[in-house]
Structure 1
Amino acid sequence: MTTVHVRGIALGIESFGDDDAPLVLLAGGTTMLSWPDALCERLAAGGRRVVRYDLRDNGESTTADPEAPAYTLRDLAADAAALAGALGGGPAHLAGIGVGGMVAQVAALDHPGAFSALTLVGTRPVAPGPPDDDLPDHDRASMGRLFARPVPDWTDREAVAEFAAAGAEILGDDPAAARAAAARVWDRTPGTAPPVQRANQLGMVFSRLDCAPRWRERLPGIGVPALIVHGRRDRFFPVGNGEALAREIPGARLLVLEEAATAIPGAAVGEVAEAMLTLG
């Protein structure tokens, strides 16, 4: 792992594969660990240079004030384009997961020359908050259970890991994988201040961003090959959101993972990697 400085900030990155291979840039959702190690390794084995990175106020990237971010969604999109340029090798295949998928959509629209392909995993075509009437919202029962839990002591690594495991069970993800990932995120978080730990674990900074203007109506203008990956059992962004993205981005392929929820499970890594490698 290292950092790359672009646009006056540091972005934490981790690289896999040959530095001279075509670049696949994985935008964290919000930390780079949203992308499974096994997927990064499979893409690298398929002849790609894979770079996953942390969004601002997460992981090894510049941390300022996650409770009052002084940047916008469009800034995060510009970060992705600048990082792709700094890493070199021509246009990159950009992939975003969860809220990182929102960053990726705007990046592909605002900086089309920086990217050669687009993969969107478990995301939707509108910003945090109430969705458009034709898009399914978060599963209400699951959200009730998720947000009714007492918050953990964010300075306690084991308590945070257990909190993540319990949340994964509610969402239909693998609790053991979520526990392990949360512990790794905790270890990579700069300090134990509760707001910073909470931002890294829950991506709360994203809900405080200025995400205007809307971008959904611009999706037909995406001119690169696109892959939409969505879990059939996703209770946070139900699969109808991925279906909408596939309809509105010209020529997009929709890959529905029948046994997946919000995270990419280990059993689906091969299928997702193959689809991404086929895309470009």
Structure 2
Amino acid sequence: MPRATSDGVSIYYERDDGEDVPVVFVQGLGYGRWMWRWQREAVAGDHEVIAPDNRGTGRSEAGLPPVVPKLPRKLRAALLAGPLSYSVEGMAADLEAVLEDAGVREAHVVGASLGGMVAQAYALEYARAKTLTLCCTTHGGSDALAIPEETMAHLGSTPKGASEREVARHRMRPAFTERFTNRNPHLMDRIVEWRLEQDASDPAREAQGGAALAHDVGDRLGEIRVPTLVLHGTDDRVVPVENGELLAEKIPDTRLETFDGGSHLFFIEDDDRVTERLLAFLETGE
């Protein structure tokens, strides 16, 4: 089980063999490696695949002070959204440590939501990114469209008396369309199980949320000099689609593709079409 060390924190990653330039998949806020399983399976074989767990997620260490998880939830959440939060820049440093440990000289970096923020920061600060693919993400800052308050409240809520599985299902509801969840009950059951096995703990998820809220690289995107593919669902209830349009306006060498009616997790709901587009981009950079 390969591990890298970043600022004293052990970061776990998986590695699949392949012949072409590695593809590294960066997870969204709180989500485990399961979220990329469809694209990862399609890419593996032709490309080497690197799949790290964000700090605090899956098998990676959280790197939080030991007392923090023991604090009352409201106090803990306030601290982890502010002075004790992770930073996107720190998570980009984690990614650099993983690629250094893996001996990767260049990689296609694919990130969704918080992972897309990490991918932006990574391309700005480090030299290994060959291309970027940014899904359902934002550059942050005052001119970006914030997560709707109703969605924010839902993502962090815990229904009274709910079981662990019910909480996991409840919190991801805004990320999918009702049509998809209604048509795929067995898959949703499996996703709940994957979430319980691989997702971040509540304290780590809160620290990741603090990193996402503080993210702001809108005035630096012109410095990104690698081909970039921006993918976004038009009905994203978590990160509004206008954020994808802003990224495409500000990153010089960008292709924007929107998915009509697509949710925040459109790359799961419409995995075949997203994977086809990603593979074409990895092949040609266009």
- 1:276–1:146: structure 2 CA closer, same or farther, 3 Å change rule? closer
Give the conservation status (yes or no) of the 8 Å contact 1:42–1:270. no
1:49 Cα deviation (Å)? 1.2
User: Which residue does 1:247 correspond to in 2?
Assistant: 249
Distance across 1 between alignment mates of 2:195 and 2:154: 23
User: Which residue does 1:28 correspond to in 2?
Assistant: 27
1:219 Cα deviation (Å)? 0.2
Instruction: Report the aligned-residue RMSD.
Output: 3.0
Give the conservation status (yes or no) of the 8 Å contact 1:139–1:235. yes
- 1:11–1:151: structure 2 CA closer, same or farther, 3 Å change rule? farther
What percent of counterpart residues are identical? Answer: 25
User: Which residue does 2:15 correspond to in 1?
Assistant: 15
TM-score (norm 1): 0.80
1:102 Cα deviation (Å)? 0.9
1:150 Cα deviation (Å)? 2.4
User: Which residue does 1:123 correspond to in 2?
Assistant: 137
Give the conservation status (yes or no) of the 8 Å contact 2:222–2:252. yes
Distance across 2 between alignment mates of 1:239 and 1:70: 26
Distance across 2 between alignment mates of 1:207 and 1:245: 20
Give per-residue Cα distances to partners, 1:119-167, cap 9 Å, x unaligned. Answer: 11111001xxxx524x3333455556666662665xx443334324645
TM-score (norm 2): 0.78
Distance across 1 between alignment mates of 2:122 and 2:225: 12
1:138 partner amino acid: I
Distance across 1 between alignment mates of 2:152 and 2:110: 26
Distance across 2 between alignment mates of 1:186 and 1:224: 36
Give per-residue Cα distances to partners, 1:244-265, cap 9 Å, x unaligned. Answer: 0011001211111113211034
Count of matched residue pairs: 261
User: Which residue does 2:277 correspond to in 1?
Assistant: 275
User: Which residue does 1:238 correspond to in 2?
Assistant: 240
- 1:5–1:147: structure 2 CA closer, same or farther, 3 Å change rule? closer
1:158 partner amino acid: R
Distance across 1 between alignment mates of 2:85 and 2:174: 29
2:92 aligned with 1:99, yes or no?
no
User: Which residue does 2:72 correspond to in 1?
Assistant: none
User: Which residue does 1:72 correspond to in 2?
Assistant: 87
Distance across 2 between alignment mates of 1:87 and 1:151: 44
Superposed counterparts of 1:183-262, under 5 Å? 183-188=193-198, 197-199=201-203, 203-209=205-211, 214-262=216-264
Give the conservation status (yes or no) of the 8 Å contact 2:131–2:228. yes
Distance across 2 between alignment mates of 1:138 and 1:213: 13
Give the conservation status (yes or no) of the 8 Å contact 1:243–1:254. yes
Give per-residue Cα distances to partners, 1:186-218, cap 9 Å, x unaligned. Answer: 1236xxxxxx63246xx3222334976842111
Distance across 1 between alignment mates of 2:54 and 2:136: 17
User: Which residue does 1:108 correspond to in 2?
Assistant: 123
Query: What SS does structure 2 have at the residue aligned with 1:234?
Result: coil
Give per-residue Cα distances to partners, 1:74-124, cap 9 Å, x unaligned. Answer: 11111112212222242111111111111111111011x111111111110
User: Which residue does 2:142 correspond to in 1?
Assistant: 132
1:254 partner amino acid: L
Give the conservation status (yes or no) of the 8 Å contact 2:111–2:118. yes
161-170 or 36-45, which deviates more: 161-170
Give the conservation status (yes or no) of the 8 Å contact 1:35–1:52. no
Give the conservation status (yes or no) of the 8 Å contact 1:3–1:60. no
Return 5+ residue gaps in structure 1 as ranges.
190-195
Give the conservation status (yes or no) of the 8 Å contact 1:171–1:261. no
Give the conservation status (yes or no) of the 8 Å contact 1:145–1:170. no
2:221 partner amino acid: L
Distance across 2 between alignment mates of 1:48 and 1:79: 22
Give the conservation status (yes or no) of the 8 Å contact 1:25–1:93. yes
